[in-house]
Structure 1
């Protein structure tokens, strides 16, 4: 017996294509949609055109395959969302990433994370005095082109 043409219980031929071939026993909405589709087309194995496509537009308006295509499209939207969003997700998932050889090595990352020596505090022309770390109350100033340390009382004067 060909498994592709039988349902999950082996109970004979099942329609091919679309959501009709999927088993969603734990999803009441899918069960309702599947029962509605089965009531509309029964055991008809004719392909159902994609909703809104050229073939769908060309079949008669009272053809149950039009309604089946609509239900299948609604179920696909409910389960998987917007087709453009799904395609964008596929594109992102299959994006080409930089090769491992172009990435930094662990030694380079460790070197970048290693603490760097402190930059010495320097007074600058036209800027206010800079507090000196480790010497509370002392400030470094630029006076006549020289770096000079002064207590807070002298800086304010």
Structure 2
């Protein structure tokens, strides 16, 4: 049991009840569970265990469908040659900083306090 489980009152109750009724019980709705007498405490322990798993993990069929969908997804690298993948891994040129009108000055990274300031070339040319 993890530290976070200490605050899960419903989970603690279900686990305690399951263990109170039986230490060893078959999975809910399995052939062994169905073969138990209706008043057998292991039957209730199996049902409590199944209900708690449902509460924590949800619908098993939804989980299986999600796994099927994930297995069918294509990856970005599929269908590309080794040379295409090598080309995609090459570093790209850095972005060129450019000041724009209406925006404050841009501090130049590694520029020791220098700023890039927008100047209107048309105004200077006139």
Structure scoring higher RCO (CA < 8 A, sep ≥ 6) equals 2
Return the offset for 1:92: 2.1
Which consecutive unaligned segments of at least 5 residues does structure 1 have? Answer: 1-7, 9-22, 107-157
Q: Counterpart in 2 of 1:33? A: 14
Superposed CA RMSD: 2.6
2:60 to 83, 86, 96: 83
- Which of these two proteins has the greater Rg computed from alpha carbons? 1
Q: Deviations over 1:96-120 (max 9, x none)?
A: 52461526x76xxxxxxxxxxxxxx
Matched, 1:72 2:49: yes
Distance 1:66 1:36 in 2: 12
Closer, same or farther in 2 for the Cα pair 1:101/1:60, shift >3 Å? Answer: closer
Aligned length: 81
Q: TM-score, normalised by structure 2?
A: 0.53
Which consecutive unaligned segments of at least 5 residues does structure 2 have? Answer: 89-126
Preserved CA contact (<8 Å) 2:18 2:46: no
More strand by share: 1
Return the offset for 1:86: 1.1
Q: What secondary structure, in the 3-state scheme, does the structure 2 residue paired with 1:97 have?
A: coil
Query: After TM superposition, what 4+ stretches of structure 1 lie above 3 angstroms from structure 2?
Result: none
Q: TM-score, normalised by structure 1?
A: 0.44
Q: Counterpart in 2 of 1:16? A: none
